[in-house]
């Protein structure tokens, strides 16, 4: 796994002059009794039912659950793509979502998308520069400098700065997309099943890369996935959701030490956590399967 070592080294160098300021006291996300009901033509689908969750600044939280459990809905609410039917979401004490306010996305909680959403018509560099420029936080020149700097520090991505995203591998694209999010210095990073379509080896490389970025840039991370092993390996806490209606069933505290290394996945502590989580999810998945539900992302 020399690729992992390389990324680690690059990021260690990055630490000396971090391009992204750590904000230890920001990014406190508070989800209070949130429900979301979709009611197209009176269908009345309860996507999220009375979910409450406190995420401390700088925490890495993974939300896991079977398909259609409302984890993506919850993320869309936090991202500001969707509103709540009832309940409240707060970020550092400010209202993010209330039943009466329209959805409001913003650069304080940037999303990395399941299928990737780098603009294919912009180069890697232009993609990363985009946020700071449209927010009028930087001149194009400053944005370019910061973008190049950050790309370089995240595993030498500055080498592909002039490429267009479709020319890169999906792993590389995902890394660039995370950099595009980080360059805005968000309070929360929202990752919506970012490694879903990857093979096991690429996934492992991406995990190390993400963990290193988390260590260096330290941000609240909400990581949506249906892959339990991934959730336990990466996160401080794993939130298990159940489907129809989407409810938070249990929260598993992961006390594996950081930095995390792939060998940990063979340790007794990891396996015990995995067994505990599987029991919860399996029960739910079986119920959904027996109801004959269609897969939902």
Partner 1 sequence: MGTPWWRSRKFWLMWVGYICAVAAWYASVKWLPIDAFNRLPDPWTVAKEWFSPEPVYGVSIFTPVYYDHILYSVYRATAAFALAVVLGVPLGIIMAWNKTFDAYASALVGLLRPIPPLAWIPLAILMFPGIELAVIYVTFLVAFFATIMNTYVGVKSIDQDYFRAAASLGSSSRDVLRHVIIPGALPNIFTGLQIAMGAAWFSLAAGEMIAAQYGLGYLIFEAYNLIQFPTIVIGMATLGVAGYISSAIIRVVGNRLMRWHAQSFGMGG
Residues of the shown chain interacting with partner 1 in the complex, contacts defined by CB under 8 A: 79-81, 105-107, 109-111, 113, 115-123, 130-131, 134-135, 164-167, 180, 184
Task: Tell me the closest approach of the beta carbon of residue 93 to partner 1, in angstroms.
Answer: 21
Handedness of CA 199, 125, 146, 155 (dihedral sign): positive
Of 150 and 281, the one with the shorter C-beta distance to partner 1 is 150
Task: Tell me the closest approach of the beta carbon of residue 144 to partner 1, in angstroms.
Answer: 16
Of 137 and 287, the one with the shorter C-beta distance to partner 1 is 137
Task: Tell me the closest approach of the beta carbon of residue 106 to partner 1, in angstroms.
Answer: 6
DSSP state of 19: S
Whether residue 107 contacts residue 219, with contact meaning beta carbons closer than 8 Å, is answered with no
Beta strand 188-192 pairing with 109-112: parallel
Looking up tokens 């060998």, which residue turns up?
263
Of 224 and 252, the one with the shorter C-beta distance to partner 1 is 224
Q: What is the rounded CA–CA span in Å between residue 273 and residue 282?
A: 14
Q: How many CA atoms lie within 13 A of 150 on its CB side?
A: 28
Task: Tell me the closest approach of the beta carbon of residue 188 to partner 1, in angstroms.
Answer: 11
Q: What is the rounded CA–CA span in Å between residue 270 and residue 232?
A: 8
Of 45 and 113, the one with the shorter C-beta distance to partner 1 is 113
Task: Tell me the closest approach of the beta carbon of residue 134 to partner 1, in angstroms.
Answer: 5
Separation in Å, CA 30 to CA 33, 52, 246: 10, 8, 18
**Nearest of 279, 102, 146 to residue 271 by alpha carbon:** 279
Task: Tell me the closest approach of the beta carbon of residue 276 to partner 1, in angstroms.
Answer: 34
Of 47 and 273, the one with the shorter C-beta distance to partner 1 is 47
Report the DSSP beta bridge partners of residue 109. 188
DSSP state of 108: T
Whether residue 236 contacts residue 254, with contact meaning beta carbons closer than 8 Å, is answered with yes
Of 201 and 297, the one with the shorter C-beta distance to partner 1 is 297
């Amino acid at each position: 796994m020399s690729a992992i070592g390389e990324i680690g080294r690059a990021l260690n160098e990055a630490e000396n002059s971090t391009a992204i300021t750590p904000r230890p006291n920001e990014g406190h996300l508070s989800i209070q009794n949130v429900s979301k009901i979709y009611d197209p033509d009176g269908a009345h689908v309860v996507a999220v039912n009375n979910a409450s969750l406190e995420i401390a600044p700088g925490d890495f939280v993974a939300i896991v659950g079977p398909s259609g459990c409302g984890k993506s809905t919850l993320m869309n609410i936090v991202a500001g793509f969707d509103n709540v039917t009832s309940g409240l979401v707060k970020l550092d004490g400010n209202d993010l979502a209330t039943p009466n306010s329209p959805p409001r996305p913003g650069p304080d909680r940037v999303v990395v998308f399941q299928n990737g959403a780098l603009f294919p018509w912009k180069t890697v560099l232009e993609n990363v520069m985009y946020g700071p420029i449209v927010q009028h936080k930087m001149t194009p020149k400053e944005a370019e400098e910061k973008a190049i700097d950050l790309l370089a520090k995240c595993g030498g991505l500055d080498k592909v700065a002039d490429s267009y995203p479709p020319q890169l591998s999906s792993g590389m694209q995902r890394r660039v997309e995370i950099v595009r999010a980080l360059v805005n210095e968000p309070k929360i990073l929202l990752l919506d099943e970012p490694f879903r379509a990857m093979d096991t080896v690429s996934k492992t490389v991406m995990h190390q890369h993400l963990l290193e970025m988390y260590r260096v840039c330290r941000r609240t991370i909400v990581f949506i996935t249906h892959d339990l092993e991934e959730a336990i390996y990466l996160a401080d806490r794993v939130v298990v959701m159940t489907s129809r209606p989407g409810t938070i069933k249990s929260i598993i505290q992961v006390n594996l030490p950081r930095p995390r290394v792939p060998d940990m996945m063979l340790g007794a502590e990891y396996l015990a956590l995995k067994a505990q989580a599987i029991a919860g999810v399996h029960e739910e998945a079986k119920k959904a399967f027996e109801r004959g539900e269609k897969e939902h992302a």
